[in-house]
Amino acid sequence: MSVGRYRERHSTSGAKSDAGDAHVLAEIVRLDRSHHRPVAGDFELSEAITLVARGHQSLVWDRTRHVLPLRGVLREFFPAAMEAFADLDAPDALELLAAAQIQSVLRAPALRQPAQVQAACAAIVTTQVRLIGTRNGEIAKLGEVVAGHLGRHREAEIYTSQPRLGVILAANPGRVQR
């Protein structure tokens, strides 16, 4: 609304344009700086929150990139695992898939796969399980850093009080104000 009032001062038509609005905002800062309150001084904290939240989000996406091939191999090689584990990146599912008992079941002749195919699929499952497990640990560690940074922000209580908005989503770069 303030920009609209300034626009009326500088333009007779009152037409809105990005270039015109940029000029008006520059004039506000140049001429009337003393009439406006300064922006809060927690820019560095907001920047830190943004960085760790983006890093956390990237790790989650990276984990998903490893879950998809695991899901594909299990669908062809051990479809019962797909039914047993709704969430393949859950620690319980990863622990069971990595266990020796599960590996021996995966290699069972009842699956009707040639021995070399079974061995290849088992190797892929084992590798993906280790990668996803590592990602889960790193995501948890970075989540703690996100929570620590957000907890120091002046508006943290407001962000985290929103329904269905936990610390990680509250720290989303688009939400945290500078």
Rounded to whole angstroms, the Cα distance separating 72 from 61 reads 17
Which pLDDT tens digit goes with each residue over 126-153?
899 999 999 999 999 999 998 998 888 8
**Single pTM value for the model:** 0.64
If you average pLDDT over residues 78-100, what whole number do you get? 83
**Residue of higher predicted confidence among 13 and 26:** 26
Sketch the domain layout of the chain as residue ranges: 2-35, 43-170
| Token pair listed for 64 | 């998903």
| Token pair listed for 78 | 């051990």
**Residue of higher predicted confidence among 101 and 14:** 14
Distance of CA 98 to the CA centre of its chain: 26
AA letter at 17: S
Rounded to whole angstroms, the Cα distance separating 135 from 70 reads 14
Rounded to whole angstroms, the Cα distance separating 107 from 118 reads 6
Rounded to whole angstroms, the Cα distance separating 71 from 79 reads 9
